[in-house]
Amino acid sequence: MDISVIVPLFNEEESLPELNAWIDRVMVTNGFSYEIIFVNDGSTDHSWQVIEELKAKSEFVRGIKFRCNYGKSPALFCGFNRAKGNVVITMDADLQDSPDEIPALYKMIVEDGYDLVSGWKQKRYDPLSKTLPTKLFNATARSVSGIKNLHDFNCGLKAYRNEVVKNIEVYGEMHRYIPYLAKNAGFNKIGEKIVQHQARKYGTTKFGLSRFVNGYLDLLSLWFLSKFGVKPMHIFGLLGSLMFLFGFVSVIVVGASKLYSMYSGLSYRLVTDSPYFYLALTSMIIGTQLFLAGFVGELIIRNAPERNNYKIEKEL
């Protein structure tokens, strides 16, 4: 099979027939063998009934129905697990992603050899309150991930080699960082294509400003896991050692200062009257706790069953 199209959706009953017909038209015109996987993420409207009707009319339609609303990442994860196509295309169900982009995305994967191609909606039909935070978010993601050539990490329209989606785990709200997940899994040929962004035709957006706050927190988590996920002692042990050393030296300086004042006949006060003593003591305690956190983390990693789960590309 050439292409699997995965469409996560939540309350998009109006757009589904038009989107399905549009995808069918593109696939038939280009002679692709394909499947369309609609993942109904706990919709409260008639989206699932529409998917059942589409399935009854077409052998190319498949559907997954969640009992409740889990989010886009779980929807993509389940879609990825079931995708059979050599190339996997993801797109949103609100008709803002154009299926006409599929042939060019397919060509970039199959002929140009990309592992992943992310769409870039260079011209957007969104208000400034959405586009401005998006630009700031993407600039931060580029800096942290090291993927400098992507302008829109969160674009729903993406293309992947099948091997990529089978070797990454999309969880929580990590769908925003699939290129970063792919890079961490060893898929480094990541490209970008300018795609058309269409004005929303039906319904309203499902995303609020909270996604930007959550996005930064997820990015921080992903960066930490990619750098220190299998070696927590390298960060906690280092920080703990530095803080303990700083506190220990500070205590010595406070004590030495008092001894010097005593033997020099100068006025002095008790060590415990100095605020620096308590700051130094606190630093030593926190340093010890950080070091122990790293040590416990190493014990957990040592006993994790996936600690040696390395991705082997080829073997002779």
For the cut 70, the answer to whether the pLDDT of residue 264 exceeds it is yes
Residues making up the chain, counted from first to last:
316
* Identity at 177, one-letter amino acid code: Y
Average the pLDDT over each of 56-65, 199-208, 249-258 and give the range with the smallest value: 199-208
For the cut 90, the answer to whether the pLDDT of residue 245 exceeds it is yes
Q: Cα–Cα distance between 36 and 90 in angstroms, integer? A: 10
pLDDT tens for each residue of 87-143? 999 999 999 899 999 999 999 999 999 999 999 988 766 666 666 777 888 888 898
Looking at residue 209, its pLDDT comes to 58
| Contact of 190 with 116, CB cutoff 8 Å | yes
Which residues are CB-neighbours of 152 under 8 A, at least 6 positions away?
118, 119, 120, 121, 134, 138, 192
Which of 219, 42, 43, 196 lies closest to 146 in space, CA to CA?
Answer: 219
| Contact of 94 with 14, CB cutoff 8 Å | no
Mean pLDDT to the nearest integer, 225-247: 87
Q: Are strands 3-9 and 34-40 parallel, antiparallel or unpaired?
A: parallel
Q: Rg of the Cα trace of the chain?
A: 27
Q: Where are the domains of the chain?
A: 3-228, 233-302
Structure-derived torsion over alpha carbons of residues 119, 120, 121, 127, reported in degrees to the nearest 10: 120
Q: Cα–Cα distance between 143 and 150 in angstroms, integer? A: 11
Model pTM score: 0.78
Q: Cα–Cα distance between 192 and 117 in angstroms, integer? A: 5
What is the rounded average pLDDT for all residues in the chain? 87
Mean pLDDT to the nearest integer, 269-278: 80
Q: Cα–Cα distance between 301 and 11 in angstroms, integer? A: 41
Which has more pLDDT, 210 or 297? 297
- Which string of b and e fits 147-171 if b means at least 16 CB within 10 Å? beebbbbbbbbbbbbbebbebbebe
Q: Where are the beta strands (DSSP E) in the chain?
A: 3-9, 34-40, 61-65, 87-90, 116-120, 158-161, 190-194
Question: Residue 278, Cβ neighbours under 10 Å: how many?
Answer: 11
Q: Where are the beta strands (DSSP E) in 91-216?
A: 116-120, 158-161, 190-194
pLDDT tens for each residue of 155-185? 999 999 999 999 998 988 889 899 999 998 8
Which of 73, 46, 59 lies closest to 211 in space, CA to CA?
Answer: 73
User: 3-228 maps to which CATH number?
Assistant: 3.90.550.10
pLDDT tens for each residue of 203-213? 666 555 566 67
Which residues are CB-neighbours of 246 under 8 A, at least 6 positions away?
280, 283, 287
Average the pLDDT over each of 24-28, 36-40, 206-210, 251-255 and give the range with the smallest value: 206-210
Q: Give the burial class of 6: count Cβ atoms within 10 A of its Cβ; 0-12 exposed, 13-18 middle, 19 or more buried.
A: buried
Share of the chain above pLDDT 70, in %: 89
